[in-house]
Structure 1
Amino acid sequence: MQHKQYLALALPLTLSTITTPLLGVVDTAVVGQLSDSSYIGGVAIGTIIFNTMYWLFGFLRVSTSGFAAQASTSLDTEEHVMALLRPFVVAFLVGLLFVLIQQPILHYSLSFLGASDAVNVSASAYFSIRIWGAPFALANYVILGWLIGMSYIKATLILQISTNVLNILLCILAVHVWDWGVAGVGASTLIAEVFSCVFGFVLLRKYAGSIWQQPFIQLLKRALDPKPMWQMMKVNRDLFIRTICLLVVFNLFTANGAAFGEDVLAANAILIQIHYMMAYFFDGFANASSIAAGRALGERNEKLFSQSLRLSFQWGLGIGITLALVFLAGKQWIYPLFSDQQHIIDLTSTYANWLVLFPLVASLGLVYYGVFTGMTEVRFVRNSMILAVLLYLAALFSLQPLGNHGLWLAFLLFSLGRSVFLILYVPKLRRLFKQTAAA
């Protein structure tokens, strides 16, 4: 695989994934134009709750992509379908559970995050509407992961962009035309999630026609076969642990930021949304690396595997430097997009230089992650993430006297740890591939 082939995967995937954090960006920007900073904080808290819920099961997309990429090299179309159905069963059941226990989730989340009463009111309005989209949101993870793993890049692009453009338009209309406030932001996201799931099934009808060519009950029985289901759950277990580590970091970040007051919480929310935009740029390249590594494993192609590592390093580092320079040059024009309150803009600018460093220290870890998931050797991802969280906790405790600056420095150390600790496992991954290819 050469640079041109890698970019043919990475650029459309980047374009599709970058629209995902635009949801949070637009939500924050739209309510940021309203008069009260508690609206920004409320959406930030509500978004954190959903990120917590959905990130816990974000492995559904990642593992589905890895297994689908490996299955794509096989002529057995039923294996293609199994890579879709197994995680889909899990997604539906978990999404239904979230809806059933929505009140305890909201109560304990607000108690843990400890924001002001005004922020909690806004967060509750947002949560109580958007929660009904949980089964659709998790189903979308599986659909998207399967399309990516099977290299249906055009379909992935169409699905992501159409869904998120719909959300953006509805959000602007709901708040600024229909005057629905924070509740309108939640309703817009709910409608977009339902639309995405329905449209996703239309695409599956085209690209996974085998589902309708055989009795569904027969396919479902095979999907629930304990041995392959256990293999999938082993991979998902390690990704689940990784996700818990991420949630510990971001929830502690939000909780500590909330302790500094509503204005600091609002400023941090703006910067975190920009951080998500940066992270999703890397995600497109990580998906490309995952496809390449998954194909290499399926074909037992050691040359392709080595190329996936080399391209991940080169493009990860290049994108990191580019994003840092772009943000450094344009940050003064970015903040007013999120808020028209000058004191919030000034406070955001105070902490912004920390974010310039984020793409530099996080780049390799975020892109190499795709190689490990494509190989479905995610125990190394789990271990590296645990080490990075331990570094974060130590930094968070020792840097408390620095206030919000210490909070951002701890976050950067965590991001650096993700890269360094994962890179240390690359030699082991090489040896495992050689052993598998020789078997």
Structure 2
Amino acid sequence: MSWLGDSWRHRPTQQRVWALAAPMILCNLSVPLVTLVDSAVVGHLPHAHQLGAVALGGSLYTLLVWAMGFLRMGASGFSAQACGSGDGALLRQVLLQGLLLAGALALLLGLLSLTFTDLALRLMNPSAELDLLTRSYFHIRLLGLPAALANYALVGWLLGTQNARAPMAILLTTNLLNVPLTLLFVLGFDWGVAGAAQASIVAEWSGALLGLFLARHALRRFPDQINWPALRRWVNWQPLLAVNRDIFIRTLALELVFFLITVQGTRLGVATLAANALLLNGLLLTAHALDGLANAVEALCGHAIGARDKLALRRTLVVATGWSLLFSLAFALLFWLGGQAFINLQSDIDTVRAVAYAYLPYLALLPLVSVWSYLLDGLFVGATRAREMRDAMLLAVALSVPLAFALKGYGNHGLWIALLSFMLLRSLILGGYAWRLTYRHGWMTASRPGY
């Protein structure tokens, strides 16, 4: 096993991984910061249903936006491979395809959103006050949807070119700008729940405008011209659309899990809904930090696959795995030892705090169980192996949902046990697919949009 030690000690690989991972960890941690700030600010307003509305409305908006996560992942994998092969024209094609898809999907989702909101809230059956505030928050947030989807395409494309500074600038602008705006709109102007939504809109559009400027600047590193006739041919959209379709199905299945958690939490009462929202902020914090390393895996593994460099692929995986394990252990200790302080930071509502304290051990276990799925997702995205990601997710959901129904009698404990089981199954199944591709030497065979 000396190759493990040699790969871990390979200084150039360590430097390349951290040149991408460090900025992405920093800006990824700013993503849950938005939710944490919204929860902390609104959580200090007088009524629990105000915090519940932000949690519920935010979940509905996130369900729409995260379902479009393939815009980032597809752009990242394909642009990384184009960069690895030195194809400037293909890089331009991937960028334009991503932005066109983002615009079309924002329009479609905007038209479907009213029906979606009605169906979701009927299923959850919230109180009248919670229903009204949730609809208000959600409908205001929709004004930022085109910018949010464009940011996905821009961040993914820039990351694939192994440019971590530009995605960091976009995400930090979007997410850190949200903090003072939320404080100003909610507490300063006394706009309440609507103010939190309006702050997010301004921040999302600011990030999108910056992203367009940075993408134009980044193209100077890859001198070439876009092949316009190729862009008009359907055959050159098929690989990208096929990968995006499979990632979309995979993301919908993942969102279904968290949507069901929200639905069941709502049925268990407003205090449980709010407490679960605070706890899931911890999962968001963990996921976005570990995704920084997964983002590095996407870019570097995609680049290695585009260049057909098996040694670079192996070294990247060893280095990223080692650091991911260390980070997951650190988060587990953080939530085990400092979980109550984490909850107290977000809310001073005693009933919500008391419920959240009881479920902190589950939160402490989550990083250790879920770390593998984040890491493997990065590998599969970089390899544009979306079909395996889709199948692994569908199988994990199919096994976990019946378990969740069987545990309904255990209340919120059953809900958290089902979530841990889902994360474990997802990691194991993805690991099985990864082993099979390694055994069959299948990583170097990737689909690419052509001309």
TM-score strictly above 0.5 = yes
Query: Partners of 1:221 and 1:322 in 2: how far apart?
Result: 51
Change (3 A) 1:331 1:210: closer
Q: What is the CA distance between 1:211 and its match in structure 2? A: 11
Percent identity, aligned pairs only? 35
Q: Which residue of 2 aligns with 1:105?
A: 116
Q: What is the CA distance between 1:258 and its match in structure 2? A: 0.5
Query: Partners of 1:409 and 1:400 in 2: how far apart?
Result: 10
Q: Which residue of 1 aligns with 2:338?
A: 330
1:38 matched to 2:46? The reply is: no
Moved more, 402-411 or 97-106: 97-106
Conserved in 2, the CA contact under 8 Å of 1:65 and 1:146? yes
1:363 matched to 2:374? The reply is: no
Query: Partners of 1:434 and 1:36 in 2: how far apart?
Result: 53
Change (3 A) 1:57 1:172: same
CA distances 1:253-288 after superposition (whole Å, capped 9, x unpaired): 000011111011010111111211111111111111
Q: What is the CA distance between 1:364 and its match in structure 2? A: 1.0
1:269 matched to 2:277? The reply is: yes
**If the length of structure 2 is used for normalisation, what is the TM-score?**
0.92
Query: Partners of 1:416 and 1:190 in 2: how far apart?
Result: 35
Conserved in 2, the CA contact under 8 Å of 1:62 and 1:145? yes
Query: Partners of 1:432 and 1:289 in 2: how far apart?
Result: 18
Amino acid at match of 1:85: L
Change (3 A) 1:329 1:234: same
Query: Partners of 1:222 and 1:211 in 2: how far apart?
Result: 18
Q: Which residue of 1 aligns with 2:103?
A: 92
1:287 matched to 2:295? The reply is: yes
Query: Partners of 2:358 and 2:443 in 1: how far apart?
Result: 49
**2:84 is paired with a residue of what secondary structure?**
coil
Amino acid at match of 1:392: S
Unpaired stretches in structure 1, ≥5 consecutive residues: none
Change (3 A) 1:12 1:227: same
Conserved in 2, the CA contact under 8 Å of 1:302 and 1:433? no
Query: Partners of 2:86 and 2:14 in 1: how far apart?
Result: 27
**2:359 is paired with a residue of what secondary structure?**
helix
Amino acid at match of 1:205: R
Q: Which residue of 2 aligns with 1:223?
A: 231
Q: Which residue of 2 aligns with 1:353?
A: 361
**2:123 is paired with a residue of what secondary structure?**
helix
Query: Partners of 1:96 and 1:395 in 2: how far apart?
Result: 37
Q: Which residue of 2 aligns with 1:125?
A: 136
Change (3 A) 1:398 1:105: closer
Question: 421, 425, 437: which is aligned to 1:429?
Answer: 437
Q: Which residue of 2 aligns with 1:300?
A: 308
Question: 88, 91, 104: which is aligned to 1:77?
Answer: 88
Question: 173, 188, 192: which is aligned to 2:203?
Answer: 192
Moved more, 314-323 or 185-194: 314-323
Change (3 A) 1:180 1:421: same
1:3 matched to 2:14? The reply is: yes
Conserved in 1, the CA contact under 8 Å of 2:230 and 2:236? no
Query: Partners of 1:111 and 1:243 in 2: how far apart?
Result: 23
Q: Which residue of 1 aligns with 2:36?
A: 25
- Mapping for residues 397-436 of structure 1, pairs under 5 Å: 397-430=405-438, 431-433=440-442, 436=445
1:178 matched to 2:196? The reply is: no
Q: What is the CA distance between 1:378 and its match in structure 2? A: 1.6
Query: Partners of 1:115 and 1:312 in 2: how far apart?
Result: 43
Unpaired stretches in structure 2, ≥5 consecutive residues: 1-11, 447-451
Q: How many residues align?
A: 434
Query: Partners of 1:413 and 1:172 in 2: how far apart?
Result: 38
Amino acid at match of 1:182: V
Amino acid at match of 2:64: M
Q: What is the CA distance between 1:58 and its match in structure 2? A: 0.7
Query: Partners of 2:353 and 2:268 in 1: how far apart?
Result: 16
- Mapping for residues 243-262 of structure 1, pairs under 5 Å: 243-262=251-270
Change (3 A) 1:346 1:253: same
- What's the C-alpha RMSD, in Å, of the aligned pairs? 1.9
Question: 47, 56, 64: which is aligned to 1:53?
Answer: 64
1:16 matched to 2:27? The reply is: yes
**If the length of structure 1 is used for normalisation, what is the TM-score?**
0.95
Query: Partners of 2:248 and 2:57 in 1: how far apart?
Result: 21
